[in-house]
Structure 1
Amino acid sequence: MSTSTMQLEFGDIRTLTVALGPMTTFASVDTDGTPHIIPVIPAWVGDALVFATHAMSHKVKNLRSRPKASMQFLTPGEAFPNALLMKGITRIIEGDERATLWDSGSFPWLPMMYSGSDDAMLRFVEFTPTRATVVRDGGRGPVERWRAQHS
Structure 2
Amino acid sequence: MTSTIRQTNGDDHPEAARKHLTDAQVLAAQGRHDGAGYLAGYVVECCLKTVMLLEKNDPPKIHILAKLSTQALRLAAMSSAKTAKYAPFQNAQHSIYDPESGWRETLRYREQGFISAETAQIWIVEANFVFQKTVACMRLDGVI
TM-score w.r.t. the length of structure 1 is 0.25
TM-score, normalization: structure 2? 0.26
Higher strand fraction: Structure 1 or Structure 2?
Answer: 1
